[in-house]
Structure 1
């Protein structure tokens, strides 16, 4: 099966440029696609200093939807948006005042990759941080998701005039030009060994264990308290936890040569991918309720059972498993608790996989309503994501009568949660008007 490679180099034009990201692309482009991918054949997509966040999202989504291994080589710089204090990948037109609208939210990248099969996705990154996001990373580690292997570094502000060199990525590209791609663990270590003067000040990223393949599509776990991610210790080798099903994280403390867990919640990115490639399913797994509560931690992972059922086309069974867990979480923690909302999100995704766009749309609208009623802001990522998913699924409803029925509720939600795409409410109203004429 062919692999897919995405080469993405992005940084602002002008004085805001911290790193000359595009300088690495000629070196990477000189590497054979099969070497970049580590597969017998490969397709390569290159994005050099892109301008529009939605354009980057579209290319990333297409790459994530491709079957087979995916390797993303990402060079750029990180900034925080002033409203939500979330890390963003800066693009060509990004300025400190326009981060929210001209840069790519990091959680978009994480969530676009979340439904890919574990063990099939790798991020190789050379990121440079401005002073604000560098301080932020010490308290809020960068979360790259459970199923994506991440290698690379985050460099601090260099304090010199002019942009820094993407030396880590250039070194990776130079090593690959030999025509041989070693295991990414080895490639990462070889690259670090060639830039020893920089690594003591960097946050170094590498997985602690190989990711174990699971049934596809993988349903994410809730991460208690948001879950730990890449730790902030400077000069330490940051690593993240094991395979899906291993828990919310492998550890929280970080020191040189030690590991930290990385969790991923169930929050979805705006308008996340819907057409997911399938892979052969392993033998079906059951979802038994443990007889002894003390043995509950060793019970089979319900997410794996759900994934297996979806893969086999047993959509009602998958939804029934998720419904049981949602009901249990609601009874124990309340229907608006993160545990219960996680399972509600899983069920909304399951409706999507089953081809029931109306049920998926309704589910996402209910999730957004619960979050708003719980006091979450309208521009909170989880709220925006739920509204965007509801909107997207509404547009896929094939029955005009059902779309007309759900449209007013979606318009009301869009009035409260406009999202990042301008004109969302106007779009709903326009489509509702067209539906009235059918």
Structure 2
């Protein structure tokens, strides 16, 4: 099965730029697609200094829904928005004052990758930060989804008025240009060694990211290795050796995994572990069995409802899964309805209108509403979406106006 590769390099223009992200793209683009992907054939999508968050989201969503393995090579800089203090990938128009509207929220990456089959997705990153974001990440490690691999590094701010070079990603690209792709864990270590030779301080300064949920650990949790930075940062303890220190990463909402007890000579053979519902659903979608996938997700939602009650995180999770499944099946109306319900549930639970989960639900309801072919159905859902947009304007300027204009056109057709 062919793979998909997304090459994304983004950094602001002007004085806000911390890293020359786009400089790595010519080297990566010179690597054969099959080597970038690790598959026999691959489709490669390149995004250089994108301007709009929605453009990045569209490309990421298309890559995330493509069948087969997905590899993302991401180079850029992270900044916090001033209101919610959430990390964003800074884009070409991003400034410290406009991050919330012009940057790409990091949690959107997790959202788009969460339904992919565990182990089928790898994200390789070379990220730079300003001082505020560097301090923030010290206690809040980055993640990219429950089943995705993450390798790379996060670097602190470069010296004042200097623009850093993405030496780690350039090392990755240089190694791959040989025509051989080693296992990602080995590629990661080789790139760290090569880049630290060019910048010896990086080995002591950078946060090194290594998350592989497919590898078993004593607690069945993904681990993130973080090398202590050169400057004291709250939340980090200096290590006596350069060996990475394992730090547990919080696992997103999912069903608890059962750990079989050790077998004894007199005990019967242990039962096989329960199957992963997300993997079953993904396999059904990839095979075109959309009704079966929806039934599986609906069953899990009802189980969560009985176990935890309305509005629980587990219930909301499976509602969101059903909304995505409706989108994959081409049922924009159903997807819109479920996303509207998700937004209502989150707001009723006391979440702020600007909370990431609330904004994402309304944005996706808006997106799916615009894809409904049946004018009568779209007219029916329009007022509810408009009411939500009054409370949750979102990051896109003019979103409420867009709903009202489209609803006016639909009503004029009656």
TM-score of the two chains, using structure 2 as the length reference = 0.81
Give the Cα–Cα distance (whole angstroms) in 2 for the partners of residues 428 and 328 of structure 1: 35
Does 2:185 correspond to 1:185? yes
Deviation at 1:339, TM superposition (A): 1.7
Deviation at 1:194, TM superposition (A): 2.0
RMSD: 3.0
| Structure 1 match to 2:262 | none
Deviation at 1:87, TM superposition (A): 0.4
| Structure 1 match to 2:71 | 71
- Cα distance change of structure 1 residues 14 and 427 upon mapping to structure 2, 3 Å threshold: closer
SS in 2 for 1:174: helix
8 Å Cα contact 2:150-2:212 kept in structure 1: no
Larger mean CA deviation between 79-88 and 158-167 belongs to 158-167
Give the Cα–Cα distance (whole angstroms) in 2 for the partners of residues 19 and 10 of structure 1: 9
Does 2:413 correspond to 1:435? no
| Structure 2 match to 1:413 | 388
| Structure 2 match to 1:41 | 41
- Cα distance change of structure 1 residues 12 and 180 upon mapping to structure 2, 3 Å threshold: same
Does 2:323 correspond to 1:335? no
- Cα distance change of structure 1 residues 411 and 16 upon mapping to structure 2, 3 Å threshold: same
Deviation at 1:28, TM superposition (A): 2.2
| Structure 2 match to 1:396 | 371
Deviation at 1:419, TM superposition (A): 1.4
Does 2:206 correspond to 1:202? yes
| Structure 2 match to 1:234 | 228
Deviation at 1:332, TM superposition (A): 4.1
8 Å Cα contact 2:343-2:358 kept in structure 1: yes
Deviation at 1:393, TM superposition (A): 2.2
Q: Can you list the C-alpha shifts for 1:349-380, whole angstroms capped at 9, x where unaligned? A: 33334444333222211111111122211111
Map of 1:88-237 to 2, 5 A cutoff?
88-196=88-196, 197=200, 198-208=202-212, 210=214, 230=224, 234=228
Q: How many residues align?
A: 378
- Cα distance change of structure 1 residues 202 and 410 upon mapping to structure 2, 3 Å threshold: same
| Structure 2 match to 1:260 | 248
Give the Cα–Cα distance (whole angstroms) in 2 for the partners of residues 184 and 228 of structure 1: 16
8 Å Cα contact 2:78-2:89 kept in structure 1: yes
Structure 1, unaligned stretches of length 5 or more?
Answer: 213-226, 237-254, 267-294
Give the Cα–Cα distance (whole angstroms) in 2 for the partners of residues 86 and 359 of structure 1: 30
TM-score of the two chains, using structure 1 as the length reference = 0.77
Larger mean CA deviation between 193-202 and 61-70 belongs to 61-70
Q: Can you list the C-alpha shifts for 1:25-79, whole angstroms capped at 9, x where unaligned? A: 2322332333222233333333222222222222323333333332222111110
Larger mean CA deviation between 344-353 and 299-308 belongs to 299-308
Deviation at 1:204, TM superposition (A): 1.0
Deviation at 1:170, TM superposition (A): 1.4
Deviation at 1:384, TM superposition (A): 0.8
Give the Cα–Cα distance (whole angstroms) in 1 for the partners of residues 410 and 114 of structure 2: 34
| Structure 1 match to 2:267 | none
Give the Cα–Cα distance (whole angstroms) in 2 for the partners of residues 33 and 229 of structure 1: 29
Structure 2, unaligned stretches of length 5 or more?
Answer: 231-242, 255-269
